[in-house]
Amino acid sequence: MTTFAFPPRQLYYDGRIQPASSGKTFRTVDPSNNTPLAEIQVASPSDIDAAIAAADRAFPSWSQTPPIARARILQKAAALLRERNDEVARVETLDSGKAYTETSTVDVVTGADVLEYYANLVGGGGLNGETTQLREDAWVFTKKAPLGVCVGIGAWNYPIQIALWKSAPCLAAGNTMVYKPSEHTPLHAQTLAEIYREAGLPAGVFNVVYGAGDVGANLTTHPLVAKVSFTGQVSTGMKVAGSAAGNMKYVTMELGGKSPLIVLPDAELENAVNGAMMANFYSTGQVCTNGTRVFVPRSMKSDFEKALVDKMQYIRPGPLFDNATNFGPLSSAIHLEKVTAYIQHGIETDKATLLYGGLGKPSVPKELENGFWVRPTIFTDCTDSMRIVQEEIFGPVMSILYYDTVEEAVRRANTTELGLAAGVFTRDLNMAHRIIDQLQAGIMWINTWGESPAEMAVGGWKKSGVGVENGRRGIEAWVRNKSTLVDMNGQVATVFAKL
């Protein structure tokens, strides 16, 4: 008999836990040792209908709740998240395989930041419209109206953070949500729903269903759904966006990237190396914005590679709750297989120079040997045509590409169908701004990498996404405009008058 660390997860809608009617379940496991954590019930089509119906019933009241009242509830939820940071982070670590040093300082914290940001934004008049005087006796005013029932489909790499990035602006704007977490990392969803309920969120405003792609497809095509917000890989996102847009639904798509990190000749070497490591090995490389194409001046080749290899000793895989551990396993067995295949392709087919890492697992304690571990890997002397350079690996695999002129580096950096993020390391800020203006991506960093605060609107260009999340612009993705012209001159101008 299998022993689970957590009780089974059922669905959550209409303000309470509800059993699924499908009779189907799946297991979520601890990626560090491949042991089961919990059994998760899968939503049937009728369960999905019920969850969406609950959200639809809750919408009229919630959308008419004054923004300041909505803000107070969401602010309380943010406070509860902060109070329970360590408890929630512990579950995130077990479910995602990320080191506790990361989940306890980043995942819950940054999610709560976004919730607090949008609560404060709407509470302070952030949903107010505009008024324009056309002439002495005529005015135009606008209002921002919520959309209705919205669907959030989460990703497995930042479970609680992504759930909050979606639900915070959605609920703040007056919408209701049915949220489906990734089947690889589902444990956070019920916790978030219960925190929202404790904070005072009315029944039906935030609901949770579980399942794989078929459940997501049913949510996306449901006639009562007004919007779909999806985070995940490009191919799936294109299908979701096509399905939703074909039914005239609003969409926000945060998809993948193959982001360039450009080191300029005058860059401070240690900063550039630290930036490249954070852009490739943080979260075991499972970050959509990672700068996996590192462009380095040919003149810096020897110094850059030496400094990089010297610092690789500071990547420490190991027990996830050990304060020294800063590198966890990959999220699942299927993802380990995918990343390993890319590393093998880089060695055997692309013929890139393996500077560090490669096939096999890093050294970990015996009790972790069954986990989904992969060695942090660096390829150098890469070319733009290599598969490992062109495709998103979503693992700890860095490709170093050398260039001769800055113009060449910028041109090559843009030679991709993706455009999520990009960055520049240099001491010349004027040059940095000129390069940033030329790079075809929606998220930019200068002399840093990866920080994405609540105040910063982020979103991809090209096939990396549609719309933005966070920042003031982020709330606009969850409202629709209503414009009204008021004429107060007392007469209606008409061409249908007696001559």
Beta partners for 458?
469
Sign of the four-CA dihedral 65, 67, 70, 72: negative
Token code pair at residue 167: 């639900």
Look up tokens 């050990």; give the residue: 322
Strand, helix or coil for residue 330: coil
Q: Distance between CA 292 and CA 280 in Å, rounded?
A: 6
Look up tokens 């729903």; give the residue: 193
Count of CB atoms within 10 A of residue 231's CB? 26
* DSSP characters over 205-273: SEEE---SHHHHHHHHH-TTEEEEEEES-HHHHHHHHHHHHHTT-EEEEE-----EEEE-TTS-HHHHH
The alpha carbon of 197 is separated from its chain's Cα centroid by a whole number of angstroms, namely 24
Q: Distance between CA 310 and CA 196 in Å, rounded?
A: 46
Token code pair at residue 256: 């993948």
Terminal Cα-to-Cα distance of the chain (whole angstroms): 93
Q: Distance between CA 146 and CA 171 in Å, rounded?
A: 9
* Catalytic sites, residue numbers: 254
Among candidates 317, 289, 280, 366, which has minimal Cα distance to 97? Answer: 317
